[in-house]
Amino acid sequence: MAKASLRWQCRRGMLELDFVLERYLDRHYDAADQTEQGLFARLLSAQDPELQLWILNGVTHPDPAFQPLIAKIRGI
Amino acid sequence: MALNKRRFDALIIGAGGAGLNAAIQLANTDARVAVVSKVFPTRSHTVAAQGGVNAALANVLPDNWHWHMFDTVKGSDYLGDQDAIEFMCREAIPTVYELEHNGVPFSRLDDGKIYQRAFGGQSQDFGGAQAARTCAAADRTGHAILHALYQQNVRARTHFFDEYFAIDLIRDDEGAILGALVMEIETGEPLLIEAKATVLATGGCGQVYRTTSNAHINTGDGMAMALRAGIPLMDMEFFQFHPTGIAGRGMLITEGVRGEGGYLVNRDGERFMERYAPNAKDLASRDVVSRAIVTEVKEGRGCGPQADHVLLKVDHLGEEIVSKRLPGIRESGRIFAGVDAAHEPLPVFPTAHYVMGGIPTDPYGRVIVPQGTGEEVVPGLYAAGECACVSVHGANRLGGNSLLDILVFGRAAGLDVIENLQEHKNHRPMNESSVEAAMARLTRWDQKGEGISIRELRDEFRKTMEDHAGVFRTEEIMGEGVEKLKALRDRLPEVRLHDHSKVFNTARVEALELENLFDTGIAIAYSALMRKESRGAHSRPDYPDRDDTNWMKHSLYFREDDRMDYKPVRTKPLTVETFPPKARVY
């Protein structure tokens, strides 16, 4: 998916998600490999409360393939 | 190229709780309903409302709508309209049951009834013992409501225009609203949507401030569209601030942190709240703590390289207690501020949370404007939710009443549109000059050449709003602010886009949002400057008391000539006795 489209998908209902998703897009997306870029696009299709659980509350994503990406988005 | 056009019976702009609850009423009839949303509906800001919905169901403790009404009138600092408040508190009960039937999974008691939790500001028997009035779906009430209403709308064949941005309302020469010009964000193509009735449900405008808890989408789009259509905004000076947002970012840090023993310090390490509130200290009321923080920063005792925030300390509690009792705050500090609260203090500053003011409506969602010595309805236009001002929150909103507001008045607007459509079977003739004006707003951004960037002007604007129309409001500070804001507004025509592509040009959307921020922000600044009293969330050190003799009235700001007008508070309820103004003591 084009980056411009992804930027709009980073617009969420919660400020907290806006912040972490845009931060990832600006800092890490361009340098990420295709697999990670694809995972990011898939992650953006999740509902806000799910993203909140995985990214903000640190709950493990059911698919382990997402964990490294989520760690990067958390930025800790 | 010819402008694409679509026709619907009703157009709803915004797909949060208010918009979707209006849409579902209509979609269950034969009406053709369009919902325009700049983001996917379940990404609306309603999703961030985790608290719950107030309704006097009396499932946990004795309760009735009249007590709820008393609490709401008192909470509004007597600026709320008592007929609208009675309407809301009565309608709360069927509204919650309707949501239940629409599939919202409310938390339950053992006997199967909806569980209700106690919240601040809720009382039994007109100011007596604590009431328990808030219905919740665990800690994701907003999402549960959005999800259920969205599914119901899809099933009822509501037509969704997802990722479409509303440019402006279209109106005829008599002021009737004929629909709106919108733009598909993906292609940049404009689309004219004609409708017999248009409902604005675009949410709040917290993004006018540098530090806000509102999502990036909350740019006051519907409010600004109303202003540009000649409609005033009401009571915009009343904006709720939360004392502790993460500095420079805005995310809320719950008051519970100070309840657990956290405290605020300035650059000298001083616990400054002891000076402002010797008894309550860090647990003083929100406006007292917010103003104290801003005073410390203004007087040069702020922290950080810019000396623009204070620090919230919890590290003295020890890592074990912080991890156990404040795990969410520790995570927030690490993710948003790069600070581990168990070992270092958190940088905080007051964050803009909720606007009580908005587009003036009656309890049926109809937009009303002054006419002669009275008021009249704007034909074809409705507003509901945070963008509207009914007014049920008056000068301050109670917890649990914001979701209630959007649901009750979204529903009421939808039901009134149904009646309206019975009487108005045909579309009014289109007004080409209004369409051209709306198109000009869009094509203005095709101008090329050197100019100011959106970010530069937006950052300066939001900082000016924070410094001059935020929590610290004196004549001098606000007067200076209005002049600065006007000077910034004069620079808007110099802003240029560097990217003129059509496909997913988010800079173009941000440019249109910037204009909306200016219109709504300046409405706030003017209204605040003019109100010379302290009431609810509007707190002025130079006019520290509530002045019911001169100021128990609603403000109306008009964009044309930045004009102010006022209208009386409606103190007569629908069926019960008036609650006369009293000192607001909790």
Kindly provide the ipTM of the predicted complex, given to two decimals: 0.97
Taking the Cβ of residue B145 and every Cβ of chain A, the question of whether any pair is shorter than 8 Å is answered with no
Per-residue pLDDT, B256: 83
Contacts of A21 in chain B (CB under 8 A): none
Per-residue pLDDT of chain B (586 residues; tens, 9 = 90+): 689 999 999 999 999 999 999 999 999 999 999 999 999 999 999 999 988 999 999 999 999 999 999 999 999 999 999 999 999 999 999 999 999 999 999 999 999 999 999 988 899 999 999 999 999 998 889 999 999 999 999 999 999 999 999 999 999 999 999 999 999 999 999 999 999 999 999 999 999 999 999 999 999 999 999 999 999 999 999 999 999 999 999 999 988 888 889 999 999 999 999 999 998 899 888 888 999 999 999 999 999 999 999 999 999 999 999 988 888 899 999 999 999 999 999 999 999 999 999 999 999 999 999 998 899 999 999 999 999 999 999 999 998 999 999 999 999 999 999 999 999 999 999 999 999 999 999 999 999 999 999 999 999 999 999 999 999 999 999 999 999 999 999 999 999 999 898 889 999 999 999 999 999 999 999 999 999 999 999 999 999 999 999 999 999 999 999 999 999 999 999 999 999 998 766 6
Cβ separation A7–B504 shorter than 8 A: yes
Domain endpoint, select from B293, B318, B350: B350
Query: What is the number of CB-based contacts under 8 A between chain A and chain B?
Result: 85
Residue positions counted in chain B: 586
Q: B65-81, pLDDT tens digit by residue?
A: 999 999 999 999 999 99
Taking the Cβ of residue B69 and every Cβ of chain A, the question of whether any pair is shorter than 8 Å is answered with no
Strands B33-37, B159-162: pairing kind = parallel
Cβ separation A2–B213 shorter than 8 A: no
Residue positions counted in chain A: 76
Chain A: residues touching B (Cβ < 8 Å): 2, 4-5, 7-8, 11-20, 47-49, 55-58, 74-76
Question: What are the percentages of helix, strand and coil residues in chain A, rounded to 5?
Answer: 70, 0, 30
The C-alpha of B504 sits at a distance from chain A's nearest C-alpha, in angstroms, of 6
To test the contact with chain A by mutation, choose from B37, B331, B504, B509 the residue with the greatest count of A C-beta atoms within 10 A, namely B504
Nearest to A56 by CA among A27, A2, A6, A14: A14
Per-residue pLDDT, B1: 65
Q: Which two tokens stand for residue B256?
A: 């519970």
State how far the Cα of B151 lies from the Cα of B136, in Å rounded to an integer. 19
Nearest to B442 by CA among B519, B502, B380: B502
Q: What single DSSP character describes residue B334?
A: I
Per-residue pLDDT, B145: 96
Domain endpoint, select from B326, B350, B374: B350
Contacts of B338 in chain A (CB under 8 A): 75
Helices and strands, counts by H and E, chain A? 5, 0
Q: What single DSSP character describes residue A29?
A: I
Residue B77 lies inside a defined structural domain of this protein: no
Cβ separation B250–A13 shorter than 8 A: no
User: CA B247, B251, B255, B261 torsion: positive or negative?
Assistant: negative
Residue B341 lies inside a defined structural domain of this protein: yes
Taking the Cβ of residue B43 and every Cβ of chain A, the question of whether any pair is shorter than 8 Å is answered with yes
- In B14-73 the beta strands, taken as DSSP E runs, fall at 33-37, 53-54
The C-alpha of B333 sits at a distance from chain A's nearest C-alpha, in angstroms, of 10
Residue B356 lies inside a defined structural domain of this protein: no
The C-alpha of A33 sits at a distance from chain B's nearest C-alpha, in angstroms, of 23
The DSSP element (H or E) to which B482 belongs, if any, is: helix B475-490
Whichever domain contains B537, its CATH number is: 1.20.58.100
Taking the Cβ of residue B503 and every Cβ of chain A, the question of whether any pair is shorter than 8 Å is answered with yes
Cβ distance B38 to B19 under 8 Å? no
Please compute, for residue B269, the number of CA atoms within 13 A of its CA located in the half-sphere on the CB side: 1
Residue B566 lies inside a defined structural domain of this protein: no
Q: Which two tokens stand for residue B259?
A: 């309840």
Cβ separation B335–A74 shorter than 8 A: yes
Q: Which residues pair with B116 in a beta bridge?
A: B135
C-alpha distances out from residue B249 to B336, B429, B509, Å: 7, 47, 22
Q: Which residues pair with A40 in a beta bridge?
A: none
Residue of chain A whose alpha carbon sits nearest to that of B44: A13
Number of domain units in chain A: 1
pLDDT band at A1 (very low <50, low <70, confident <90, very high): low
Per-residue pLDDT, B586: 61
Beta-carbon neighbour count of residue B494 at 10 Å? 12
Residue from the list A5, A14, A57 with its beta carbon closest to the beta carbon of B47: A14
Number of domain units in chain B: 2
Read off the amino acid at residue B381. Answer: L
Looking at chain B, the whole-number percentage of residues with pLDDT higher than 90 is: 91
Residue from the list A7, A13, A20 with its beta carbon closest to the beta carbon of B215: A13
The angle at the Cα of B57, spanning B52 to B60, to the nearest 5 degrees, equals 85
Taking the Cβ of residue B47 and every Cβ of chain A, the question of whether any pair is shorter than 8 Å is answered with yes
Q: A20-52, pLDDT tens digit by residue?
A: 999 999 999 999 999 999 999 999 999 999 999
Cβ distance B547 to B533 under 8 Å? yes
String of DSSP letters for B461-474: HHHHHHHHSSS---
- Of B90, B286, B330, B508, catalytic: B286
Whichever domain contains B296, its CATH number is: 3.90.700.10
Interfacial B residues in 325-354 facing A (CB < 8 Å):
328, 331-332, 334-336, 338
Residue B549 lies inside a defined structural domain of this protein: no
Cβ separation A47–B143 shorter than 8 A: yes
Cβ separation A12–B186 shorter than 8 A: no
Contacts of A57 in chain B (CB under 8 A): 328, 331
Contacts of A55 in chain B (CB under 8 A): 335
Residue B366 lies inside a defined structural domain of this protein: no
Cα first-last separation, chain B = 62
Residue A15 structural domain: 3-74
The C-alpha of A14 sits at a distance from chain B's nearest C-alpha, in angstroms, of 5
| Residue at token pair 């799910």 | A50
State how far the Cα of B203 lies from the Cα of B406, in Å rounded to an integer. 9
Residue B468 structural domain: 447-543
Domain endpoint, select from B298, B318, B350: B350
State how far the Cα of B574 lies from the Cα of B434, in Å rounded to an integer. 38
Per-residue pLDDT, A36: 97
Per-residue pLDDT, A76: 84
B330 assigned to active site: no
Taking the Cβ of residue B138 and every Cβ of chain A, the question of whether any pair is shorter than 8 Å is answered with no
The C-alpha of A12 sits at a distance from chain B's nearest C-alpha, in angstroms, of 5
Whichever domain contains A27, its CATH number is: 1.10.150.250
